[in-house]
Every structure is written in C-alpha cells, then in structure tokens.
Amino acid sequence: MAKEFRLPDLGSGLQEGQIVNWLVEVGQRVTTSDDLCEVETEKAVIEIPVPYAGTVLELKAAAGDSVEVGSVIAVFGDEGESTGSTEAPVEAEATPDKPVVAQAAPAPAVNTTTATGRVKAMPSVRRIARQHDIELSGVAGSGRHGQITRNDILAILDNKPAATPAPAAPAAPAAATRPGSSSQFEPFSMIRKTISARLSQAWREIPHVFTRIEIDATRLLVVRKALIEELDMKIPIEAILIKACLPALKEFPAFNATIVEGGIELHQHYNIGVAADTETGLVVPVLKDADRMSLRELVASMLDLLPRAVQRKATPEELSGGTFTVNNIGALGNISGTSIIPHGTTAILSIGRAVQRPVAIDGEVEIRPILEVTLSFDHRAIDGGLAQRFMNRIQENLEEPVKALL
C-alpha cells in the first residue's frame, strides 16, 4: 500500500517551508539512506531524508513552492502501484537513524545536477523560469561555478518571441514582469520573508533611540595586533568588542534584558548575538554564555560559528536565544550607522571602521584612529542618562582594552 509523507515541523514552530530542490525523481528506487529534498525554513536549509524504502510514486510540490507543515509532499510504494490507496502519512521522525540535518542555503546555487539529473537553482530563479516556460536544464549558467542567475533567465526572455496569451486567463497577483515596464518582480525567499517580518515587528513595537560616541582606537588596535601575534590566531574585532561589553552589561543589566508584560526580565546569562551579512540576508549567530569564555575560547567559537552561519550551516539553536547583539558595520567599510534592535532584546551596539582624524591631545594636534560606536536602545526600559553611562563604560573598556580582557 502506498505511503504518504508529510512535511514535518523542523523546529521553532515552523508554519511552512519552501521546497528548494527535490533530490529524487518520480519512479526512482530509494532507500532510507537517501535524501528526499531540501527545504528552506526561516533560518536555514534542511535536508529531509527519505522515510521509506521503495519507489517514489508522486512528488506533491514543485521546487520553489511553499508548503504548509503537515501537507503531504511525497508518496512512496511499490513500482507501478496506484496512489489511490495510501497508509497513514508519516513525518521525519520515522527515520531516527538518519536525522534531519541543517546545511547551507543554496546561495549562490550551482548549475550542476544531482545523481537523478535534476538541475539545482535558487527558488526565485526557478519561479521566474517556470512562469515563462523556460527549461532550466537547457540554460547555461553565467554565475560563479556555473550557477544559473536571474540575469541568465532575463537574457533568454529578451530573445524569446512573445507567446500568444491564453484566452480569459486571470491575471496573476504578482507576475515576474509588469506590462509596459522594465521593472522585474522577484518574490522573497522564505528567509527574506522572515527577515522582513521580524525587522518590521521590531521597528513597529520598539521605540528606538540612538546615541553614539567616538573612540580613540589607538590602544585597541595595538592590543589587537599584539594578541594576534601572541595567540597566533585571527582576532575578530567583534571578540574584543564583546569582551568590552560584558562588564558593562553586568553593571547595567537593563541592556541584557527582555521586555515582558508589565515589566522587564533581567537575564543572568549573556548570549551575545553577532550580526553577519550573507548573500541571502542578515543572520545573527549567538555565542551562548559568552561571559564564561576566555578570549581564546571566544575567538575559537566565533571562528567556528560565524562562517557556518554565513554558509547557512548553523543550526536554529545557534541562531536564537540572544540577549544582546553587536554589529560590526565597519566590516563592509561603513564609518558609522545604526541598527534595528532584535525583537526580544533591549539594545544593539554597532561599531564602524576606524578612520584617521586630527584630534587635540594635551594642546597638540595629533592624527589618531577614531572609531564611531552607536547604541540603539529601547526607550521603554532605558532612559538617555542610563544609556550614556553604559556608553561611557564601553568607551573606557575600548580605549583601555587590557582591563576588559583581564
């Protein structure tokens, strides 16, 4: 008897997922050691294993489609068997020996095929191709490692004769192109939708206030260079920034907190989020219990976690639970800027790129590396005076970093 398989809840109260790639084909013989598909969730791409040994009788969704948790996505059985009669559907728990694994999102996707000959491509590229009846297997990718890009599809559309429209067909609510316009519509991916929803919620619900200070980074840069030589390892500036923040967070607990109904929850643990830019959007991996780590341990954790987060290999647990966030906007060349406070926290600290500026030192003009640090804070819990005292402590710890590192 044919067996149905439903999209499982892959964690964190998932409501729906987006099929990125099918890793099997209808009619293919499979075992439980094979992978069925890749599903994009709010934060990662998850490999779902095949739940039954047998033949793939039906795939219920196309790559790029969004499907609700609990929906049947595949049917398995014996070769030639009808799908009219099925057993009770199962979810991923049916294969405990082969756990669901989070891995990198396909960004950028690569124009290669799976063992079954299926072309891999990003959902947005697949969707545009599908709307215009373009077969991806015949497209030569121009992106890195031969990836098929949106521009590859647009180039085909530029040279494709217009098709005769089907009579009385209702207009789609969101088309890939708009009549009479050179604009291009590209739907949000699942991850982009999540980013959009969460930032909108944070900006709508949190009364943001911003304050900034300028840091003389002379000692900071000298100490960082010495640490790189002494520890013989790369020292991200965020690691020193976190070490400078931890004493201030303990002294001023309102910055390591969550607004709850009728009050504020002051956390006794220090889970520091580190904002990271990726090709598919912003992610914030979280260093759990950062205050219990030595500098070497903190750096090692960052050098392990951040690359995996950028490659979408971090687990949902590693991307949640932050109590305070730092954002190195200077990594991309920004001198200054502000950040939106992650929902569920009360503050985020942003650091820019150090620039050489003339400053007055003991009545003399000297050229010093100046670093701008900006604090975004929730005015429901934090007033301006408290924010300034917090920033004064940050300034002390960054201008004399040895004290914060001891």
Average of per-residue pLDDT values in the chain: 82
Average pLDDT over residues 377-403: 95
Confidence of residue 39 (pLDDT cuts 50, 70, 90): confident
pLDDT of residue 84: 61
Concatenating the DSSP letter of every residue in 323-372 gives SEEEEEGGGGT-SS---PPPTTSSEEEEE---EEEEEEETTEEEEEEEEE
- Is the confidence at residue 152, as pLDDT, over 50? yes
pLDDT of residue 11: 65
Confidence of residue 212 (pLDDT cuts 50, 70, 90): very high
Confidence of residue 122 (pLDDT cuts 50, 70, 90): low
CA distances (Å), 366 to each of 352, 361, 373, 397, in order?
A: 21, 7, 21, 22
Instruction: Give percent above pLDDT 90 in the chain.
Output: 51
CATH number of 106-161: 4.10.320.10
Q: What CATH number matches the domain at 198-405, 3.90.1150.10, 3.40.50.720, 3.30.559.10, 3.40.50.300?
A: 3.30.559.10
- Tens digit of pLDDT for each residue in 236-249? 999 999 999 999 99
- The ranges assigned to domains in the chain are 2-103, 106-161, 198-405
Q: Name the packing angle between helices 384-399 and 218-231 (round to 10°).
A: 50
The answer to whether 319 and 354 are in contact (CB under 8 A) is no
Q: How distant is the alpha carbon of residue 43 from its chain centre?
A: 5
Two tokens at 67? Answer: 């499907």
- Is the confidence at residue 120, as pLDDT, over 60? no
Two tokens at 38? Answer: 């890749």
Q: What CATH number matches the domain at 2-103, 3.40.50.12280, 2.40.50.140, 2.70.70.10, 2.40.50.100?
A: 2.40.50.100
Q: For residue 74, give every residue at least 6 positions away whose Cβ sits within 8 Å of its Cβ, in sequence order, or none.
A: 4, 5, 36, 37, 56, 58, 59, 60
Contacts 24+ apart (CB under 8 A), 194-200: 194/42, 194/43, 195/281, 195/282, 198/342, 198/343, 199/340
Told to judge if 379 belongs to the known catalytic residues of this protein, a careful annotator would answer yes
Which of 132, 208, 343, 379 is flagged as catalytic? 379
- Is the confidence at residue 119, as pLDDT, over 90? no
Total-model pTM? 0.65
- Tens digit of pLDDT for each residue in 156-171? 876 755 444 444 434 4
